[in-house]
Structure 1
Amino acid sequence: MTAFNQGMMRLYRRSPYQPQFNLQAILTSYLCSFVGIAALAYLTTGTGYPLIAAPFGATAVLVFAVSDSPLAQPRNVIGGNLMGALVSVALVSWFGSDPWVMALAVATTIKVMQLTHTVHPPGGAVALVGVMSGATSEFVLTPVLVGSILLVLCTVVFSHWIPGRPYPKHWI
């Protein structure tokens, strides 16, 4: 066995603590995430409306790679990102974009997501990006709400083509 093959075997060694992916799942996640993010990017450039934000990269990891996770379900994706956007817009309007507001936005978003049962880790990133960019109320609709809905819809569509990978597990 070559050194390369031995190295690959170490990478593929199963761990009870990490999710396991077969080649089909890896290729499917790759293709779906490419198409989902490309759709948002091309819609953004084609329409002139911002439908993509950096946290959607993390959302894509959840919905396309570990779609059975509670954090990747539609309620969490849409609700968590929406909570981050609402919190950031409110805090920017009240306090501006100082560094302490960035911290307050992330902490507040975490608490609000916990209280509303919409925990979605990229929601914290949405809050941070919102404060960093001095977000206004438009940020809530585009890119956050529309972009989140589009990623969920892409995931629903792709899940119908993938045997054994239903999405969503639940809507609410």
Structure 2
Amino acid sequence: MKSLLVKNIGQARRPVRSRNFRTMGSSIYQPEFSYAQIFSSWMGSFLGIATLAYLSVHTQYPLIAAPFGATAVLAFAVPDSPLAQPRNLIGGNLIGAIVCITLVYAFGTAPWVMALAVATAIKLMQLTKTLHPPGGAVALVGVMSEASWDFLLTPVLTGSIVILLCTIAFNNLVPGRLYPKH
């Protein structure tokens, strides 16, 4: 017997057909990118992450962390997004770091602390209008790595500033892109 997805009990005989599973390529829910935009996103993210990695190796300060990969996606692939703007990029990552450090000092690194860190970071980012999804990842990574106050300066603050400067420089050199938007 086939099971059907239904919109509600009153319409049990009418199946819901999801376009998400039938559509190949871009759909109405996904932005479409030209080849020039794809190349620009690729080049910008490569240069931004390479700069962080190079500085990390040559200064021997940990300036790179996994959440910066997600920051690069936002900053270089969708620079017009409110989530990719400087206030969100710096503020969201700092909030994630402050939350995780505070919770690690207060409660340790238990699994529930990981969940509390992400949830609290999201709440504070929403309240301060600095929502930046990688900030939630910063909170999680910080708890997982038993972050101390050093984590706030390196990699979070310094790494965020470096990736922001790369984003500003690169996106303003690409024709048709203007960053920041607001």
What is the aligned counterpart of 2:87 among 63, 69, 75?
Answer: 75
**Paired letter, 1:137:** W
Identity %: 67
Unpaired segments ≥5 residues, structure 2:
1-22
Give the alignment's Cα RMSD to 1 decimal.
1.1
Q: In the alignment, what sits opposite 2:178? A: 166
Structure-2 separation of matches of 1:26 and 1:156: 18
Structure 1 position 137 matched with structure 2 position 149: yes
Q: What secondary structure does 1:36 align onto? A: helix
Shift of 1:68: 0.2
Shift of 1:163: 1.1
Structure-2 separation of matches of 1:28 and 1:106: 31
Q: In the alignment, what sits opposite 1:146? A: 158
Structure 2 length-normalised TM: 0.86
**Paired letter, 2:131:** V
Q: In the alignment, what sits opposite 2:45? A: 33
What is the aligned counterpart of 1:98 among 76, 98, 110?
Answer: 110
| CA-to-aligned-CA distance 1:44-100 (integer Å, 9 cap, x gap) | 011110100000000000000000000000000000000000000000011111101
**Paired letter, 1:47:** T
Structure 1 length-normalised TM: 0.90
**Paired letter, 1:147:** G
Say which one has the larger Rg: 2
Unpaired segments ≥5 residues, structure 1:
1-9
Structure with larger RCO (C-alpha < 8 A, sep 6+): 1
Shift of 1:20: 1.2
Q: In the alignment, what sits opposite 1:89? A: 101
Structure-2 separation of matches of 1:99 and 1:25: 40
Q: What secondary structure does 1:168 align onto? A: coil
Structure-1 separation of matches of 2:24 and 2:35: 14
Moved beyond 6 Å, runs of 4+: none
| CA-to-aligned-CA distance 1:107-157 (integer Å, 9 cap, x gap) | 000000011100000000000000000000010011001111111110110
Q: Is the 2:76–2:171 contact (alpha carbons within 8 Å) kept by the matching residues of 1?
A: no
Q: In the alignment, what sits opposite 1:107? A: 119
Structure-2 separation of matches of 1:44 and 1:151: 13
Structure-1 separation of matches of 2:57 and 2:29: 40
Q: In the alignment, what sits opposite 1:156? A: 168
Q: In the alignment, what sits opposite 1:3? A: none
